[in-house]
Amino acid sequence: MKKPTLREIHDAGKLLITPLAHDALSARLIARAGFASFNIGGSSLLASRHALPDLGLAALGEMAAAIKDVVDAVDIPCIADADDGYGDVKSTVHTVETYHRIGVRGVLIEDQARDMKRPGATAALAVAPIELIEAKLRAALSARPDRDFVVIGRTDAAGLEGVDAALRRAERFLKLGCDGVFVAGLKRAVDFEKIGGAFKGQWNMTVMPEGGRVEWQTPQQLRAFGYTQIVYPNSLILSVVRAVEAKLQAMQALESGTIAALDPPEQLAIKTYEEAVRVKRWNDIESEAARTIAAASGP
């Protein structure tokens, strides 16, 4: 049975909620949980793969190698961050072609100035001239193989030049032919409502980070505002960091005698873990080979 494309999933009309995968295992768990698609973000991917911050340190080759591992692990489509195209217009074309070749089905191209890049949706220090980002988006749209490959224009101008300036940039992205927009850096409910209403009926992506950095909006509120896709950035990798840190502290306490035994949450997760890495499939392959060899060897 043919899997639906990213565009078909979005256009089905249901609010698209996409977790952010940071490695192959998290992508497999996302698919296992029943999500139709997911996103790959630079911050969590770089942290997982290289223990680096998302400050423009990684080049296209490093990102593509990491993304390929993630995409190969699942059969649901994803959108991947493509930063500013990793360079000039030529680099943007190369990025789109590379991402498509490794199985990505959509890209997010941003207008943050690369030499001052900061991670997250609320920390931009500078944005590129509008003419430059428009040239890159035109190049990306021309380079994609077909309409099923989604190009979303992201602007980080809201925190620097105001919500109205970001809105104008996003409008220009859509006029160029971008499939959708993402206005980053929103913090107040009134701003979410303004941007949501401005692009109601379009592919309108937003993020909703936990931790009080923005005024929390429920999926129902965001959908009513006019958003069609919600990404929860870094939720999974931060949960992993917290769990690993807690377990390491427990191991130290075990060593010092402060506690007598570790809590056994890993026993509760072993079934999920084995299903995610598909232990049974590999055991079945091994068992079938053993039976075939035994049968061929005779009595």
- Checking if the pLDDT of 255 tops 90, the result is no
What pLDDT is recorded for position 28? 97
Task: Identify whether the C-beta of residue 80 lies closer than 8 Å to the C-beta of residue 56.
Answer: no
What confidence tier does 190 reach under pLDDT thresholds 50, 70, 90?
A: very high
Q: How many whole angstroms separate alpha carbon 155 and alpha carbon 126?
A: 11
Give the residue from 128, 123, 93, 89 showing the smallest Cα distance to 111. Answer: 128
> pLDDT for 55-104, tens place per residue?
888 899 999 999 999 999 999 999 999 999 999 999 999 999 999 999 99
Query: In this structure, is the dihedral angle defined by the CA atoms of residues 50, 51, 56 and 57, taken in order, positive or negative?
Result: negative
Q: What is the three-class DSSP state of 249?
A: helix
Q: What is the three-class DSSP state of 2?
A: coil
Residue written as tokens 């068992």? Answer: 287
Task: Delineate the domains of the chain, giving CATH numbers in brackets.
Answer: 6-235 (3.20.20.60), 241-297 (no CATH)
What pLDDT is recorded for position 121? 56
What are the backbone dihedrals phi and psi of residue 20, each rounded to the nearest 5 degrees, phi first?
-105, 115
Q: How many whole angstroms separate alpha carbon 105 and alpha carbon 80?
A: 8
Q: How wide is the angle at C-alpha 161 spanned by C-alphas 159 and 166, nearest 5°?
A: 80
What are the E-state strand segments in 61-146?
78-81, 106-110
What pLDDT is recorded for position 256? 83
> pLDDT for 204-250, tens place per residue?
999 999 877 889 999 999 999 999 999 999 899 999 999 999 889 98
